[in-house]
A and B are shown apart, each in its own frame.
Chain A
């Protein structure tokens, strides 16, 4: 109804404009329709589309939003189900706590008022560039065997640890455990971002890049790598005592090429 009134008003306004100007306006409008996407693309502009100007903006943007969300949901579901499946199969003799463990999304079970405002992880270019691949586990890992997943850098996440699977184990570092004695490094971001950061740190440390360290210890290797910006914060009882300072380093423990654990420190 409102749209009809708008159209009538527009037609009335056009009748008042001389024919010559009306033609120019129509030509300009057609030109804009054709060139708007290209101009946005070439010059990085965000010129509104004619649809959005006319009033279809809501529908168009809704359609655009629906697509990535549904993809992400698929990816997360697959990743979670794979990790859960892995944990379930390995730990079928244990209780259900593994399956009920938090999903890949960090859960803020504790009020975070006391925690510092840590920026979202900006873990250098590889992190930013790494897009979620819906075909992969957590959008990043390729299944290479039964319950075994490999990262692009060659780190293998397989069965093991108290949680039944290494992916479940490192998931503990996506949220704080304020009652846990000592330190508990918490990564700020979701599982995908964590895996990307681990891979980035592992690659750099393995190559002996600046700001990295490699320590051999009784069959395992400990890699440490610094990041330019905070990737998380110090949690646990010690973190709480120190008012959860931001952390800019990542420690990775591997045995061979199998990941044992990884956490910010």
Chain B
């Protein structure tokens, strides 16, 4: 097990539900890597770690969709970002880490 796997990497506590952590979700589809911010509790989404722009979701969706591939955010091609991916996205300065 990679030591990174036991770490929670997050941007901040969720300003919507107050209980979740806003974490970086990675979508890999069609050889394209996309990152977005997802609250692990209420599933609120933002386009980037500045958290100014929300990703809209529909009330009739059971699972919200990835803003890039339009598949479920809990689908097979999705995972929480690791440090390498966060660096590639240029978002390292926005994150905090804690042992899980």
Question: Contact at A181–B76, with CB atoms within 8 Å?
Answer: no
A150 and B16 alpha carbons, distance in the complex (Å): 26
Chain A contacts with B in 214-265, Cβ cutoff 8 A: 217-222, 251, 253, 255-256, 258, 260-261, 263, 265
A158 partner residues in chain B, CB cutoff 8 A: 62
Inter-subunit contact A218/B19 (CB<8 Å): no
- 8 A-B residue contacts at CB 8 Å? A179-B99, A181-B21, A181-B98, A218-B57, A222-B16, A255-B62, A258-B62, A261-B41
Judging by beta carbons under 8 Å apart, are B44 and A265 in contact?
A: no
Chain B interface: which of A12-20, A42-50, A105-113, A159-167? A159-167
- B80 nearest CB neighbor, chain A only: A162
B10, B59, B74: which contacts A220 (Cβ < 8 A)? B59
- Check A218–B54 contact: CB distance below 8 A: yes
Size of B's binding interface in residues, CB under 8 A: 30
Name the A residues within 8 Å of B13 (CB-CB): 181-183
| A43 to B21 alpha-carbon distance, docked (Å) | 54
Separation of A260 and B59 alpha carbons in the complex (Å): 11
Number of A-B contacts (CB under 8 A): 79
On B, residues with C-beta under 8 Å from A are 8, 10, 13, 16-21, 40-44, 54, 56-64, 74, 76, 96, 98-100
Given contacts A181-B13, A182-B13, A183-B19, contact A219 B8 (CB under 8 A): no
User: B8: which A residues are within 8 A, CB to CB?
Assistant: 180-181
Give per-residue flags for A174-186: 1 if the beta carbon is below 8 A from chain B beta carbons, else 0.
0000011111110
Task: Choose among B17, B40, B62, B76 the residue that contacts A253 (Cβ–Cβ < 8 A).
Answer: B17
Please name all residues of chain A whose beta carbon is closer than 8 Å to the beta carbon of B40 when the two chains form the complex.
Answer: 162
A218–B17 alpha-carbon span in the complex (Å): 13
**A159-B62, A162-B74, A260-B42 known; A255-B16 Cβ under 8 A:** no
A53→B91 CA distance, assembly (Å): 75
A-side interface size class: 20 to 34
Q: Does A93 contact B (CB under 8 A)?
A: yes
The 4 closest A-B pairs by CB, nearest first: A219-B57, A182-B13, A253-B42, A219-B59
Instruction: Write the A191-226 contact mask toward B (1 if CB under 8 angstroms, else 0).
Output: 000000000000000000000000001111110000
Known pairs A179-B100, A222-B16 / 11 extra A-B pairs, C-beta < 8 Å: A158-B62, A180-B98, A185-B19, A217-B16, A219-B58, A220-B57, A251-B18, A253-B42, A258-B62, A260-B42, A261-B19
Question: Would you call A255 and B61 a contact (CB within 8 A)?
Answer: yes
**Once bound together, how far apart are the Cα atoms of A46 and B69, in whole Å?**
66
Q: Which residues of A contact B41 (CB under 8 A)?
A: 253, 261, 263
Cβ distance B14 to chain A, nearest Cβ, rounded Å: 8
Given contacts A181-B8, A263-B41, contact A160 B63 (CB under 8 A): yes
Give Cα distance in the complex from A88 to B41, angstroms. Answer: 20
CB distance from B100 to the nearest CB of A (A): 7
For the complex, what is the distance from the CA of A182 to the CA of B10, rounded to whole Å? 11
Which residue in chain A gives the minimum CB-CB distance to B55? Answer: A218
Taking the closest CB of chain B, its distance from the CB of A88, in whole angstroms, is 15
Select which of B21, B44, B99, B100 is within 8 A of A218 by beta carbon.
Answer: B44
B residues within 8 A CB of A261? 17, 19-20, 41-43
Question: Is A182 within 8 A of B57, CB to CB?
Answer: no
Q: 0/1 per residue, A41-70, Cβ < 8 Å to B?
A: 000000000000000000000000000000
